[in-house]
């Protein structure tokens, strides 16, 4: 094994670049490890997008010390974190960076310390840590590294090697810790992603960066046999206002807080992040020259971009503001599908962040929507279980008062909006909206993306499946049959309202026929059909 007593910050950055490239080769395979065979199991993709953001920031680091590179990687991960896996990964990278403060280089002992802090930070970031996940993998990897260092071996490559081996064993063991993994015969996807990153880093330390271009990572084998697997929404764009002005400011003793205060009156959607030598500035302003003149007095500007935003979009924003109720708070919602976006807008949402299944918005996407809102008080509705953690990260990045109402489905989001009281304050509204969530039952109908066995059911690839409140409960030969079977799991005799949102792959006539069949069987129900336009999910149904 190649010996490495110490590496520089440049090596540290290239090590992570190698790790990211290694992860990219297996992102789709990691996506396929999703426990439920629904088309939103994009753990590998989310982790990869998070790492891409990290590396973009790493190559903009103010110096080549290990500390500076680590801080840049952590910053990029936080701003680009997508999905639960991306957010937890950003916490791990933040822990690494925090332990490397003021370090020019990295030794084996430093790595062991940093992995321990990464594990601590990852667990700290979650209110309900679950074993058998990426958390367990980072904990086991850090414990192995610490044990080797305590035994007197501080060679960096040796420490990484033992961490990788422990991570491999930990991933393989995840099905024994999580029953749902055991039943499905898969390992934890987030754990696999972290192992792949660590393995890529090890390849770099061994001097194998060139050779691995022609190889592909192997998925960790579980002790339980794996099951055999045989209009796209884009990320939310910035709301127009004058000129979108962006640049990197470099100088000495820069004060981000002071710059932010100075620029607050010069425009909207202001974002100022960085440290005392490098600051990233983004603002929508009617006078970019005024902003540029001020920035030039502080240092040198790089990557300057000034774009005149579309007039039609600005007119649309003003129209939405005019239509909005006279209330001093804004509501941001994550929604996928034109029809669903119209529903949420009609119920008072002031900013839509496109996203949901298959494409989770990043922390930065949600932050942009919050900063673009006219109010300093904002309620965020994630409307997807995999976006809740991402949304939670935004609260520490804005000066606005933000409440995250943890809606995990579209129907829960609608129920929360209906509970909104225009005369109540921010805290009261958040409480009222949260109280409305438990009364709603959510049915989702999609098609399996792979064959599997779960909850005692054998499921074929592309077969229609039904989920009730996130739990897979029905399988059918068609979306409508899966819909009926899933609804049978509920006591509809005591329900009052059923709202059917049909997706972009479902004909309205088919949805109307399903509605008529439900009404005929349950005449007391009030059944409504709405064009949701959501991708991948034939039906999303609210039952109350």
Structure tokens at 219: 């998925």
Same domain, 18 and 162: yes
Same domain, 13 and 133: yes
Asked if residues 85 and 47 have their Cβ atoms less than 8 Å apart, the reply is yes
Same domain, 30 and 137: yes
Structure tokens at 86: 């991306």
Torsion of CA 71, 72, 76, 81, to 10 degrees: -20
Domain count, the chain: 4
What three-state secondary structure class fits 431? helix
**How do 526-531 and 497-502 pair as beta strands?**
parallel
What is each CA distance from 486 to 35, 280, 443, 540, in whole angstroms?
Answer: 19, 49, 7, 12
Domain-located, residue 225: no
Domain-located, residue 106: yes
d(CA 74, CA 149): 25
Query: DSSP assignment, residue 212?
Result: G
d(CA 138, CA 191): 8
pLDDT tens by residue, 127-176: 568 899 999 999 999 999 999 999 999 999 999 999 999 999 999 999 88
Q: What is the pLDDT of residue 417?
A: 93
Same domain, 200 and 259: no
Same domain, 41 and 154: yes
Domain-located, residue 116: yes
Q: What is the pLDDT of residue 299?
A: 93
Q: pLDDT confidence of 204, banded at 50, 70, 90?
A: very high
Mean pLDDT of the chain: 85
Residues 6+ apart with CB under 8 A from 95: 114, 117, 118, 119, 120, 121, 122
Per-residue burial over 129-153, b if 16 or more Cβ lie within 10 Å, else e, is eeebbbbbbbbbbbbbbbebbeeee
Query: DSSP assignment, residue 235?
Result: P
d(CA 142, CA 51): 20
Bridge partners, residue 283, by sequence: 245
Does the pTM surpass 0.85? The reply is: no
Domain-located, residue 221: no
Asked if residues 357 and 383 have their Cβ atoms less than 8 Å apart, the reply is no
- Domain carrying residue 339: 312-439
Same domain, 171 and 192: yes
Same domain, 26 and 101: yes
What is each CA distance from 198 to 6, 131, 167, in whole angstroms?
Answer: 17, 19, 8
Bridge partners, residue 105, by sequence: 8
Q: What is the pLDDT of residue 38?
A: 57
What is each CA distance from 529 to 339, 480, 485, 498, 539, in whole angstroms?
Answer: 11, 14, 18, 9, 10
Asked if residues 502 and 519 have their Cβ atoms less than 8 Å apart, the reply is no
Same domain, 251 and 337: no
Q: CATH no. for residue 65?
A: 1.25.40.340
Please choose, from the candidates 93, 36, 77, 21, the residue with its C-alpha nearest in 3D space to the C-alpha of residue 447.
36
pLDDT tens by residue, 171-193: 999 988 988 888 777 889 999 99
pLDDT tens by residue, 233-262: 333 344 444 776 777 788 998 987 789 889
Same domain, 454 and 415: no
Q: CATH no. for residue 251?
A: 3.30.70
Of residues 263 and 139, the one with the higher pLDDT is 139
Q: Is the dihedral of CA 434, 34, 211, 203 positive or negative?
A: positive
Residues 6+ apart with CB under 8 A from 304: 246, 247, 292
Same domain, 86 and 124: yes
Question: Phi then psi for 89, rounded to 5 degrees?
Answer: -60, -40
Asked if residues 265 and 244 have their Cβ atoms less than 8 Å apart, the reply is no
Half-sphere exposure of 408 (CA within 13 A, CB side): 15
Q: Is the dihedral of CA 47, 49, 51, 57 positive or negative?
A: negative
Counting beta carbons within 10 angstroms of the beta carbon of residue 391, is it exposed (0 to 12), middle (13 to 18) or buried (19 or more)? buried
Q: CATH no. for residue 328?
A: 3.40.50.510
Asked if residues 160 and 111 have their Cβ atoms less than 8 Å apart, the reply is yes
Structure tokens at 235: 């990320």
Q: pLDDT confidence of 319, banded at 50, 70, 90?
A: very low
**Which of 177, 194, 214 corresponds to the end of one domain?**
214
d(CA 346, CA 342): 6
Same domain, 108 and 180: yes
Domain-located, residue 231: no
**Which of 194, 214, 234 corresponds to the end of one domain?**
214
What three-state secondary structure class fits 476? strand
Q: What is the pLDDT of residue 324?
A: 45
Q: CATH no. for residue 479?
A: 3.30.1180
Domain-located, residue 234: no
pLDDT tens by residue, 24-54: 999 988 888 876 555 555 788 889 998 999 9
**Which of 309, 342, 363 corresponds to the end of one domain?**
309
Q: What is the pLDDT of residue 250?
A: 87
Per-residue pLDDT for 65 more than 70? yes
Domain-located, residue 120: yes
Asked if residues 367 and 343 have their Cβ atoms less than 8 Å apart, the reply is no
Structure tokens at 480: 């409508």
Domain-located, residue 533: yes
Same domain, 435 and 445: no
d(CA 161, CA 167): 10
């Amino acid at each position: 094994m190649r010996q490495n007593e110490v590496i520089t910050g440049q090596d540290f950055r290239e090590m992570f670049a190698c790790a990211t490239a290694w992860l990219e080769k297996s992102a789709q395979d990691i996506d396929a490890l999703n426990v439920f065979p629904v088309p939103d199991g994009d753990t590998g993709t989310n982790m990869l997008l998070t790492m891409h953001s990290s590396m973009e920031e790493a190559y903009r680091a103010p110096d080549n010390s290990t500390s500076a590179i680590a801080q840049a990687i952590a910053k990029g991960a936080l701003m680009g974190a997508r999905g639960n896996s991306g957010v937890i990964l950003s916490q791990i990278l933040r822990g690494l960076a925090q332990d490397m403060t003021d370090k020019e280089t990295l030794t084996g002992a430093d790595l062991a310390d940093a992995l321990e802090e990464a594990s601590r930070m990852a667990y700290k970031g979650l209110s309900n840590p679950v074993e058998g996940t990426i958390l367990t993998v980072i904990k086991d990897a850090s414990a192995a590294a610490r044990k080797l260092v305590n035994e007197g071996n501080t060679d960096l490559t040796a420490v990484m090697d033992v961490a990788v081996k422990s991570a491999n064993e930990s991933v393989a063991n995840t099905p024994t810790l999580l029953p749902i993994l055991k039943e499905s015969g898969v390992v934890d996807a987030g754990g696999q992603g972290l192992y792949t990153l660590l393995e890529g880093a090890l390849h770099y330390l061994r001097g194998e960066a060139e050779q691995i271009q022609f190889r592909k990572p192997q998925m960790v084998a579980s002790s339980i046999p794996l099951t055999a697997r045989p209009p796209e929404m884009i990320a939310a764009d910035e709301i127009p206002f004058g000129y979108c002005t962006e640049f990197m400011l470099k100088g000495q003793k820069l004060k981000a807080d002071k710059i932010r205060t100075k620029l607050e009156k010069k425009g909207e959607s202001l974002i100022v992040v960085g440290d005392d030598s490098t600051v990233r500035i983004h603002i929508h302003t009617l006078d970019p020259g005024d902003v540029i003149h001020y920035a030039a007095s502080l240092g040198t500007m790089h990557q300057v971009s000034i774009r005149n935003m579309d007039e039609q979009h600005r007119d649309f924003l003003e129209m939405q503001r005019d239509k909005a109720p006279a209330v001093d708070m804004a509501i941001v919602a994550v929604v996928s599908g034109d029809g669903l976006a119209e529903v949420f807008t009609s119920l008072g949402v002031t900013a839509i962040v496109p996203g949901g299944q298959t494409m989770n918005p990043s922390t930065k996407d949600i932050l942009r929507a919050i900063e673009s809102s006219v109010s300093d008080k904002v309620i965020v509705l994630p409307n997807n279980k995999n976006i809740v953690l991402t949304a939670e990260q935004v609260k520490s990045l804005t000066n606005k008062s933000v409440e995250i109402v943890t809606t995990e489905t579209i129907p829960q989001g609608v129920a929360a909006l209906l509970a909104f009281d225009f005369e109540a304050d921010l805290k009261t509204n958040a409480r009222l909206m949260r109280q409305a969530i438990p009364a709603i039952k959510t049915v989702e109908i999609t098609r399996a993306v792979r064959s599997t066995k779960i909850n005692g059911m054998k499921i074929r690839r592309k077969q229609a499946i039904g989920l009730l409140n996130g739990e897979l409960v029905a399988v059918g030969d068609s979306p409508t049959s899966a819909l009926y079977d899933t609804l049978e799991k509920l006591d509809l005799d005591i329900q009052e309202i059923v709202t059917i949102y049909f997706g972009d792959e479902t004909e309205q006539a088919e949805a109307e026929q399903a509605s008529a069949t439900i009404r005929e069987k349950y005449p007391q129900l009030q059944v409504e059909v709405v064009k949701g336009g959501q991708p991948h999910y034939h039906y999303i149904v609210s039952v109350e």
